[in-house]
Amino acid sequence: MKMIYAIIRNDDKDNLVYKLNEKGFSVTTLATTGGFLKQKNVTLLIGTEEEKVDKAIEVIRKACGRRKQMVYHNPSTSGGMNLMNYMPMAAHVDVGGATVFVMDVERFEKI
């Protein structure tokens, strides 16, 4: 038996939990905060058999892996009548990412 700790972005939580449940993994989510940036993130606890660990990590990678996302900025209205100030601006930003730890479970019981 193994325990997977996966620290992920809040935005990826619902999709990842859905995908893990769909594949038969039980999940507990904890609301956590990164120690460096002090931003809220989510830590998933996933207890599973050793032979299923790679499958769980594959699901995490697909749902949360680092990727580019297009974001649109609201046009500024503070720059006068210049047309450029009203043009929507688009940019690619990096989103996602997961930090995963896999640990041995000495004993597992449901009482």
Site residues for ligand 2BA per CB under 6 A: 7, 34-37, 39, 41, 97, 99
* Closest approach of ligand 2BA to the CB of residue 4, in Å: 14
Within 13 Å, how many C-alpha atoms sit on residue 16's CB side? 29
In whole angstroms, give the CA distance from residue 58 to residue 93: 23
- Helices 53-64, 13-22: inter-axial angle, 10-degree rounding: 150
* Closest approach of ligand 2BA to the CB of residue 92, in Å: 18
SS3 85: helix
Nearest residue relative to ligand 2BA (C-beta): 34
* Closest approach of ligand 2BA to the CB of residue 34, in Å: 2
Which C-beta is closer to ligand 2BA: that of 5 or that of 52? 5
